[in-house]
Amino acid sequence: MKRDVCVLQILVLLIPHVRTGEHPPAPSSVRVSSEAHGGGIYLKCSFETRPGSFLGFVVVWLRLSALGLREELRQETTVHTSVHIELDGFNLRLGDKIYCSSSSFFLDSPEVRSPAVDSAEFFAGLRMTVSESSVLEEGGVYQLLLESTVPLPCVKDSDRCSLLLQLNTISQEEEQLGADVSLSSCAVELTSDPCADGPCSRTSLHVSPITDFILDGNRSTIISVKAIVTENVVWSGYSPEPLQIQVQDVQSAYCYSFTDPHTVTFDGRCYENSQIGTFVLFQSAACGVEVQVRLWECGGVEHAASCVCGFVVRDGGDVVSFDMCEGELGETFPQLNVKHRGPRSKLRITESYQGRKLTMTLSSGAFVRADVSSWGMSLTIRASGADRGHTQGLCGTYDEDPHNDFHSADGTEPLDLHSFVSAWRLPPGSSLFDSVPSSLSETIPLQFCLCSHTAAVSLSPDLPCPQPSPHPGSIPPSSLIPSLDVTQEYLTPAELLQTQTQDNRYD
């Protein structure tokens, strides 16, 4: 500052003439950026000017207060086209919104000033943003971006500059209803990039609403970063502004196939089916899911009728059947058969009433439930929100329009019920009951964590997920009927061995 004043005085002496009536040109491209020098963080106000004009500049640093008022922090006079101010953690802190304003004057007539030109607002600190602030409870994945506009603290005597951030979520009514949002990680590390023309550091993770299949209202969740623990006085105790995300309920859709079978589609269209054979009941392109159903003759001598004798589910790499179709009507009980187990299986099987009620819950939270009788079984199928707009088969197109439910695979609407049912018939020997496809595509699901109870847990980049997100639909209890999780029972040692072999094949 003193040096600048001396330079000003010398320059004034050197200027050969005195101006009259002329105004100095205002500075242009006024901007604030950040830099690290000697372990400190500095904000820089820079601007451009007309060359060869013998100008001086008055630069004012301003902060936008919480009430939206501008507070002057400092004013200085210079002949240079940039000035610095230290972000010292006292007068200027992380989280502050800063401007600079620059006006020019002729060195030989400093009382005549150009209009002041303001920079854009510069936010100094960490910023957290989410790609959508209101999301549907249907298993979507949204980006959560964390970026720092100022340099990160560096490890002493090292080039390594980084920050470990621990994330926390708090949902409305969480104690009664549980968390409503999960994160791909509860801890992330920010590492430094050059601050030139952009953020000094940036990382992203993912947010996903928890699919609970209950109408718990459109709840809000606050996502926050815990106060930073570091020896650096500027960063110590700082946490960025939390953000809010709202999860909107999605009404669950059910398809029913009762007795000889009276079918109700996801969109509520009712019809009777008297054909026997193997059919696609429900297929969802979105989730890699298919449910096929087999119907046998179950009528008497006078009235022909068909009933469901079994179903088979494909969920990613899992293919599991539950059927009695090979036995004699009235004499057999369905058998559960794990035809293929995927390496990342999330299929769950529960039984109640001594196996007469069996539920297969898929990785998306959709389920198929069978109520077994001597003549066959009735089925209930729940679609997940992620299936909406993506289903085909005898359960119809789940899109809240019952009129388009009698459809065919190519999208054209069949003329009548018989042709609709026929359109979903599978040729003999081609179903999942008969054989498992040689390649079962299985998307690798992203891991999601509950970050709502991490306060007492010390996280690190090596342990970023203290508690995995619950299986969709598993909270709160989806049924009032006591049931037994028998998933493991069907994983015999041979199947475990097979799974390991498959694991290697997929690696």
Instruction: Compute the least distance from the CB of residue 214 to Ca ion, in Å.
Output: 5
Cα distance from N-terminal residue to C-terminal residue, the chain: 64
Nearer to Ca ion, 323 or 405 (CB): 405
* Structure-token pair, residue 26: 């205002």
Q: How far apart are CA 79 and CA 77, in angstroms?
A: 7
Give dist(CA 152, CA 200) in Å, integer.
8
Q: Mark residues 226-255: x for contact with Ca ion by CB under 5 A, - for none.
A: -----------------------x------
User: Do strands 134-136 and 243-248 pair parallel, antiparallel, or not at all (unpaired)?
Assistant: parallel
Nearer to Ca ion, 219 or 314 (CB): 219
CB nearer to Ca ion: pick between 103 and 273: 273
CB of 152 to Ca ion, least distance (A): 38
> Which residue has its beta carbon closest to Ca ion?
397
* Residues of this chain, 358-417, that bind Ca ion according to CB under 5 A: 396-397, 399, 401, 404-405
Closest contact distance (angstroms) between CB of 377 and Ca ion is: 25
Q: Which residue number, 404 or 492, has a Cβ lying nearer to Ca ion? A: 404
Q: Which is nearer to Ca ion, 139 or 396 (CB)?
A: 396
Residue 410 CB, nearest distance to Ca ion (Å)?
A: 16
Q: How far is the CB of 216 from Ca ion (least distance, A)?
A: 4
CA angle in degrees (0–180, nearest 5) for 249-250-251: 115
**In angstroms, what is the minimal distance from the CB of 264 to Ca ion?**
12
* Contact pattern from residue 194 through residue 223 relative to Ca ion, giving x for each residue in contact according to CB under 5 A and a dash for the rest: ------------------x---x-------
Q: How many residues sit in the footprint of Ca ion (CB under 5 A)?
A: 11
The dihedral over CA atoms of 321, 325, 330, 331, expressed in degrees to the nearest 10, equals -80
Please select the residue that binds Ca ion; options are 96, 147, 260, 267, rule is CB under 5 A: 267
- Closer by beta carbon to Ca ion, 116 or else 136: 136
Which one, 401 or 485, has the nearer CB to Ca ion?
401
What is the DSSP code (8-state) at residue 402?
G
Distances in Å between the Cα of 505 and the Cα atoms of 342, 411, 446, 502 are: 11, 36, 20, 5
- Half-sphere CA count of 503, side-chain side, radius 13 A: 9
Q: Is 318 in the site for Ca ion (CB under 5 A)?
A: no
Q: In what order do the strands lie in the sheet with 367-373?
A: 270-272, 262-264, 253-258, 376-383, 367-373, 357-361, 348-352, 484-485
Cβ atoms of residues 305 and 298 within 8 Å: yes
**Burial of 385 per CB tally in 10 Å (0-12, 13-18, 19+):** buried
Distance of closest approach, residue 316 Cβ to Ca ion, in angstroms: 24
Q: How far is CA 458 from CA 160, 167, 276, in A?
A: 22, 11, 59
Is the distance from CB of 421 to CB of 440 less than 8 angstroms? Answer: no
What is each CA distance from 84 to 38, 39, 70, 76, 454, in whole angstroms?
Answer: 14, 15, 19, 10, 39
CB of residue 265 to Ca ion, shortest distance in Å: 7
Structure tokens at 160: 């390594």
Q: Measured from the CB atom, is 15 or 215 closer to Ca ion?
A: 215
Contact at 8 Å (CB) between 414 and 429?
no
- Identify which of residues 211 and 502 has a Cβ nearer to Ca ion in the complex: 211
Structure tokens at 320: 């599991």
Q: Which is nearer to Ca ion, 202 or 407 (CB)?
A: 407
- Name which of 396 and 472 has its Cβ closer to Ca ion: 396
Q: How far is Cα 132 from Cα 121, in angstroms, rounded to an integer?
A: 24
Q: Which residue number, 25 or 217, has a Cβ lying nearer to Ca ion?
A: 217
Give the Cα separation of 366 and 347 in Å (integer). 10
Q: Cβ of residue 424: shortest distance to Ca ion, in angstroms?
A: 14
* Cis amide bond preceding 476, omega within 30: yes
Instruction: Write down the least CB distance from residue 207 to Ca ion, Å.
Output: 16
Largest Cα–Cα distance of the chain, in whole Å?
Answer: 121
Least distance from Ca ion to the Cβ atom of residue 443, Å: 24
Q: What track of x and - describes contact with Ca ion for positions 116 through 145 (by CB under 5 A)?
A: ---------------------x--------
Q: Residue 376 CB, nearest distance to Ca ion (Å)?
A: 26
CA 193: distance to chain centroid? Answer: 25
Distances in Å between the alpha carbon of 429 and those of 25, 118, 307?
85, 76, 20
Select 374 or 404, whichever has its Cβ closest to Ca ion: 404
State in angstroms the smallest separation of the CB of 483 from Ca ion.
Answer: 21
Residues that bind Ca ion (CB under 5 A): 137, 212, 216, 249, 267, 396-397, 399, 401, 404-405
